[in-house]
Amino acid sequence: MRLNRFGLAAVAIASMGMGTASASTFMFDDIQDVDPAKQDGKWRASAEIGVLIRSGNTDSRSWKGKVDLQRDTLQWRHRGIIDYYRQERKTFEGETVTDADRLFVSGQSNRKFGSSNHSSVFLYGSYEDDALNSYEYQSTIAAGYGTRYHFTPDLFTDFEVGPGVSFDKRRDTGETDTDLIVRLAGNLDWQISETARFTQLVSTEIGDDNTRSRAVSALTANLNSRLALRLSLTLTHNSTVFEQPNGRIPEKMDTETAVTIVYTF
């Protein structure tokens, strides 16, 4: 089964078109979650950017950009994410080497069982294009059950489980592997203070051909009502990697550390 890059990205976003986004129980691939009880049903957006440029003995540059769209109502929640990271450096010979070039897109909708219920059903889609791993792209569609548990008013955890399908196009052969998966995800959200927040996401998609896991930790500090400073750590792991035509074997674990400014619209 073959799908082009933009088609799979559209699939990942398509899950946003199910209705309006959900209320109090749901988790998705992002580093923040919003209490739907405080929402008014309007669309909201945030833009996140970080840039690092070095010159002199080391000539390198890296940047990270992210756009987050969300809408929360009493019965539904939608969110769509576009996350891009790139890092380049110049060698002593003057050649430009790309150390990271990754695009991640996801979309999810949740429908609560009841206006005061902590359970929901979800539809999730994602698309990832990492120029340096074993796959030209990796895409997932999954659906299932989600629930939320409140430890305190400022600390809660989301859990999700459900079946799905993954589409992974191998870079070495050009073939697309289609695999049935089980998606498991958990998200911890802790409002430390009025100006500080910690979130931890862990998700894994278990399949016969490959198991892909993703963990995102973030500490966000508000600068004012619109601006925030964020420190984040993202880990991505694939259980299966393949030797590339140039003889390079990609690492199973990929790590991204970023400090960014976040602007909320």
CA dihedral defined by 27, 30, 33, 36, rounded to 10 degrees?
-70
What's the structural domain count of the chain?
1
User: What pLDDT does 7 receive?
Assistant: 44
- CATH number of the domain bearing residue 226: 2.40.160.40
Question: Mind listing the pLDDT tens digit for each residue in 90-130?
Answer: 888 778 888 889 999 999 998 988 766 688 899 999 999 99
User: What pLDDT does 178 receive?
Assistant: 94
Range of the domain at 24: 5-264
User: What pLDDT does 135 receive?
Assistant: 92
User: What pLDDT does 160 receive?
Assistant: 93
Which string of b and e fits 16-35 if b means at least 16 CB within 10 Å? bebebbbbbbbbbbbbbbbe
Question: Mind listing the pLDDT tens digit for each residue in 216-230?
Answer: 999 999 999 889 999
What is the pTM assigned to this prediction?
0.79
Residues of the chain with pLDDT under 50: 1-37, 39
